[in-house]
Amino acid sequence: MIVVESYKGLSAGEQSVEVVERKGKGHPDTICDSIMESISIALSQEYLKECGTILHHNIDKGMLAAGKTAQRFGGGRVVHPMTLIIGDRATFKAGGKAIPVKDIAVDAAKQWIGKNLRFVDPEKHLKYKVLLAEGSEELTDIFSRPGEIKGANDTSAAVGFYPLSRLEWVVMRLENYLNSEDFKSEFAETGEDVKVMGLRRGKGLQLTVAMPLIARYVLSEGAYFQRKARIYKEMQSFLENCDDLRLKDYALYYNHLDQEGRGLGGVYLSELGTSAEDADSGQVGRGNRVNGLISLTRPLGTEAAAGKNPVSHVGKIYNVLAHKMAREIYESVEGIKEVHTLLLSRIGMPINRPVIATAHLKLKPGRKFREIASAVRDVIAGELEQMGTFCLDLASGKYPVC
């Protein structure tokens, strides 16, 4: 059932208070989400190659247990490595052929780390604990039932929205810049564990940034604060001069826990560029939503999308599709100011036939609901008709989930 309704409430940018967070690729939670999703993609491609279809797997129970480092100015050392726990379910045999699931999982994890975390050696700085097992007969049977479109393996709901508010866009752009190749080339002393928290009160913005400095580049406390000041000025320049931002009324805080005169206790130093080295563990589902943000004044789903299989697990499929659907509606139907979407599955029902698919529309002045409701329904129906292609795109990694 497709339901389209008018939304009379305030849009995100019209509310008096708005809070938005983004965790960068070196944050322990984002590391977990990214690696488990990489494993799902690798397994999906192996299943397609060997069996012609994607088989049952859910690699969404992952944890990164923090290690231990010995810190000092000028460079420390890793005392105990981090431990990556890879858990839940997968298919180990198909057509009488063994699938090397554990090897694929560890290889995918190492490849992601090698590409994304400059100072982490995937061989030396991590241990890998694979706790994957065969799935239940009831859920694996979904994959042997006839039909191109699989049945939902859960009863679950997901929400999406579009467009991003100005604060959401600022938070996203700032974190992306701080982890960009250009920024890391100029400021090689910064780690990938970037976290940006944005607050808007009225028109004024407050941005709080956490980003460690790599110990080997910082020879003293004085050098730390000199480098920090230079990085702070670069962030200001980006926020004020970037063509699509040009902020004026804002406050910026960077590594706000720092305190001069306290030595190592008063600075944010890192050996590997991630707090998972000794301060903070990570877990799947605690990081960014599938659109890359944690928007606390928006509708939020409860499912962890990363690592779930892309052909029957609606906890992944509907979360990504809800945001994609909202964007398609906004961009293809004139006169819409903001869209909220909701998808609800029922276990066993084909995933292209949700129990309900809804769109709540906030219209621009002068636009009448009856003029566009039918066109919005057509967009939703069209997205559901393309479910098979969408799932294969998910399996190839076309849509990021964190």
pLDDT in tens, 285-297: 999 999 999 999 9
Query: Per the domain annotation, does 200 fall within a domain?
Result: yes
DSSP 61-87: EEEEE--EEE--TT--EEEE-EEEEEE
Which residue carries 């600075």 as its tokens? Answer: 267
| Alpha carbons 284 and 296: distance in angstroms, whole number | 18
Query: Per the domain annotation, does 177 fall within a domain?
Result: yes
| Alpha carbons 380 and 326: distance in angstroms, whole number | 9
Query: Per the domain annotation, does 16 fall within a domain?
Result: yes
Full residue range of the structural domain in which residue 277 is found: 12-24+168-283
Q: Considering just the CA atoms, what is the radius of gyration of the chain in Å?
A: 23
Query: Per the domain annotation, does 362 fall within a domain?
Result: no
Query: Per the domain annotation, does 5 fall within a domain?
Result: no
Lowest mean pLDDT among 92-101, 170-179, 224-233, 358-367: 92-101
- Averaged pLDDT for residues 135-143: 72
DSSP 220-274: SHHHHHHHHHHHHHHHHHHHHHSTTT---SEEEEESTT--TTSGGGGS-EESSSS
**Helix residue spans in 273-353 (DSSP H):** 314-332
| Alpha carbons 385 and 193: distance in angstroms, whole number | 39
Q: What is the mean pLDDT of the chain?
A: 95
Residue 52 sits at the vertex; the CA angle it makes with 87 and 55, to the nearest 5 degrees, is: 25
Query: Per the domain annotation, does 252 fall within a domain?
Result: yes
By three-state DSSP, how is residue 22 classified? strand
By three-state DSSP, how is residue 308 classified? strand
Query: Per the domain annotation, does 194 fall within a domain?
Result: yes
The confidence score (pLDDT) of residue 147 equals 75
pTM, whole model, 2 decimals?
Answer: 0.95
Domain at 196, CATH number: 3.30.300.340
pLDDT, tens digit, for every residue of 15-73?
A: 999 999 999 999 999 999 999 999 999 999 999 998 889 999 999 999 999 999 998 99
Residue 301 sits at the vertex; the CA angle it makes with 299 and 302, to the nearest 5 degrees, is: 140
Question: Is 70 exceeded by the pLDDT of residue 138?
Answer: no
| Alpha carbons 246 and 259: distance in angstroms, whole number | 30
CB atoms within 10 A of CB 96: 5
pLDDT, tens digit, for every residue of 184-221?
A: 999 999 999 999 999 999 999 999 999 999 999 999 99
Q: Which of 278, 282, 313 is nearest to 85 (CA)?
A: 282
Q: Decide if 297 contacts 14 (C-beta within 8 A).
A: no
pLDDT, tens digit, for every residue of 296-352?
A: 999 988 889 999 999 999 999 999 999 999 999 999 999 999 999 999 999 999 999
* 275: its two tokens: 């707090």
| Alpha carbons 311 and 393: distance in angstroms, whole number | 10
| Alpha carbons 43 and 21: distance in angstroms, whole number | 31
- State which amino acid sits at residue 76: G
Give, as one character, the DSSP assignment of residue 172.
H
Query: Per the domain annotation, does 224 fall within a domain?
Result: yes
Residue 272 sits at the vertex; the CA angle it makes with 270 and 275, to the nearest 5 degrees, is: 60
pLDDT, tens digit, for every residue of 169-192?
A: 999 999 999 999 999 999 999 999
* 129: its two tokens: 């604990």
* Total count of domains within the chain: 1
Q: Which of 125, 249, 267, 245 is nearest to 175 (CA)?
A: 245
| Alpha carbons 163 and 144: distance in angstroms, whole number | 39
- Averaged pLDDT for residues 235-248: 92
